A = this chain, B = another copy of it.
């Protein structure tokens, strides 16, 4: 699927989109999303809020895992905060480590535009046989 088509589908991810996240590369099992940082992403200590990092990573995972069909949801995610953000833009890259019949495992790394590794996540996803509700 073309990037343009994928971007269009994920316009529906309102929370990530309104936060400023954009898809820059996407195929089944891999996606890269970027986020230009603004004052809106700050926490009370002046840093970038953990929820911003998580949301960007979760979005990259959702794109990578659902390029072909919208049937994978995250079951559990772990985020490790590694360094303070020093740059002005973040990039999350989600990579499939294992895709089984029903579950999958992705790694997501978040770096800033100065090359600092800011956070890493491991996301365990569940793929429904059908796209129904209440899937897991």
Interface residues of A (CB under 8 A from B): 9-16, 18-19, 39-46, 49-52, 54-56, 58-59, 62, 66, 70, 73-84, 97-98, 100-103, 105, 117, 120, 122, 124, 126, 133-136
Q: How far is the CB of A2 from chain B (nearest CB, A)?
A: 17
CA distance A54 to B100 in the complex (A): 21
Question: Which of B12, B19, B45, B75 has a CB less than 8 Å from the CB of A43?
Answer: B12
Residues in B with CB closer than 8 Å to A46 are 12
A-B contact pairs, 18 of them (CB 8 A): A12-B44, A14-B49, A15-B49, A16-B49, A45-B70, A50-B58, A51-B56, A51-B59, A55-B55, A75-B80, A75-B103, A76-B79, A76-B105, A76-B124, A77-B79, A80-B124, A97-B117, A100-B136
Residues in B with CB closer than 8 Å to A51 are 15-16, 19, 51, 54-56, 58-59
